[in-house]
Each structure stands twice: as structure tokens, then as C-alpha cells.
Copies of this chain bind each other. A is one copy, B any other.
């Protein structure tokens, strides 16, 4: 049975929603979970659930907060839940780690503890983006703010492998995020990356414009981490804004409240189309071990989906696939 370490102390709703998500996952999946964090807290929280699968606890006395400097915190707080969880992967006691905590700290802990897959120059964070016709993968989402063409090529290859093996998309279409369709378009990085991407064995379909992301023109969108992070967070902020405007307008008076009631199923349908919770976690690709970042705002369902994706990545030996990438 595959076992996964869960950083129970990371994220805005830790430990309550993290543990709830872990219990959900353990009931739905053939997976063993190791919760990492303050043992008394976790035992108390876990005791609230009756039926649960194979869940154990490993104590960690420290926590890295979201505002801490990642590298410094990971180096200084040896007993932080993120560090302890990653060390379980290193010791092969678990096959993967999932955390909703400090993204930079998780990346640093993964790199210090597990290293890079040989051949991979720069690991990347891939985000799952919801679209009405299903999720797509975008990378890099912020691990690498300045990239060389070679980096984008490796992101494309790793993203393609993830889409194929974990998202089970056949011959995933990979696109280069750009401001136009033609190969001459874009900044220096994009123009130099295009021909290199064309030479790879992946299904590179050319440039994809930002307006085509949500129309699912491709399954994997590749860009540098500066652009990716800006796009990801801008998208979230627009969704949040529209939801809050709708809530405000729909609860304004009796008529709008009544109308909103009639529309509940319709609105739920829309929400599901663009729901980040459905998407699950963001894999950190290129690290020599399966490391998943769940959204800082992840509640139980989102966290469960992150565990599900991590489980699939272990089952399909994603790290093995990526390590064979260079040779392909």
C-alpha cells in the first residue's frame, strides 16, 4: 500500500480541514497516511472521526509560517512539519508528501532533502487550472522567475509526462504561453524557446495566447515562473471578485434572494466549472520525490484531491518517468 506524508500544520485552515481531508482520502483511496505535526493536537482532532482508514501520526515540534523566509526557515527549523514530512520521503517511509503550507519552504525542503532528479536543471511548480471542459496544467507557477529556453523545454517535458501519467490525457497538447500565434511573436525567451520545443518528442502545438487558456486549446501551458504566478493569482482574484459581487447583489433584497434561490443549481454548475477545489494540488516537478503543494486556502475536499493526485503520481512512478526524460 502506498503511504503519503501529510503536513498537518500548513495552510490557512490547518489542522482542522487538513485532517478532515486526510480522513476523506483514507476512506476513499487505498492509501496509508502519516500526519505530521503537533501530536497532541492531531490526536485530539483525529479522535473526532469514527470511520477512518490507515492513518498514523509523526510528531513535529515546529511550524513554518506563511510569512517566514523559506530558505532560512527550512534551514533553522529542523523540526518543522514540512522538514519532517519530507524526511519521511527521503527515508522511504512514505512515497510522497502533501502540504498546504509555505510554498517556498516546501520547495526548499524538497530540494535540500531530496535533491533534483538527475538531468533536471530547475524544478517547477505546476498548477492545475480549472476550465469548463476539465482541468489543464500550467507551469512554472513561481519557482523560477528568470528562465532560459532550456528550462522551458524541461518544464514542457515534465508537464507533458504529468498530464499523461497522472491526469491520464493521451498525447497531451503542450503550448507555449505567448502574446500571438506566430512563432516570431513574443519576448526573447519565447522566440528562442519555440524552435527548441518543436524539436522535442512531446506533442508541442505551438503558442497559446492567454485568452485561450480557459478555452482548453492545450492540456499543458508552459511559461516562466514570473508570468505564471501573475496569471495564476490574477485568475483567482477575478473569480473571487465575481463571486463576491454576485453574493452582494444576490442578497440585496427579497426579490434577488428569491431569484438566487431559484438559481442555486445553475450557480452551482458554474462554480463547479471554475472550482479550484476540484483541481487538487500543484505538483513540484523535477524534485527527486513526489512533492505536492495544496492551495493555502485548501479545505477538506481540495486537500483530499491533492492526496489523490499525489497517490496517482506515486502509483505511476512519475519520478521514474521524468528521470528517463533526458534519455528519451
Q: Mark A211-226, 1 if CB is under 8 A from B, else 0.
A: 1111100000000111
Q: Mark A193-214, 1 if CB is under 8 A from B, else 0.
A: 0000000000000000111111
Q: Mark A121-159, 1 if CB is under 8 A from B, else 0.
A: 000000000001000000000100110000000000000
Closest chain-B Cβ to A13's Cβ sits at a distance in Å of: 19
> Cα distance A210–B225 when bound, in Å?
13
- Nearest residue, chain B, Cβ from A237: B211
Closest chain-B Cβ to A143's Cβ sits at a distance in Å of: 11
Partner of A226, one of B227, B229, B250, B270: B227
A/B interface sample: 15 pairs, CB < 8 A: A146-B188, A177-B230, A211-B237, A213-B237, A214-B237, A214-B238, A230-B230, A230-B231, A231-B231, A231-B234, A252-B266, A256-B262, A259-B259, A259-B262, A263-B263
Contact status A234-B211, CB under 8 Å: yes
Chain B residues near A231 (CB-CB < 8 A)? 210, 230-231, 234
Chain B residues near A260 (CB-CB < 8 A)? 259, 263
Partner of A142, one of B179, B188, B256, B259: B179
A132-B245, A262-B259 known; A238 vs B239 contact (CB < 8 Å) = yes
Partner of A186, one of B209, B226, B255: B226
A79 contacts the other chain (CB 8 A): no
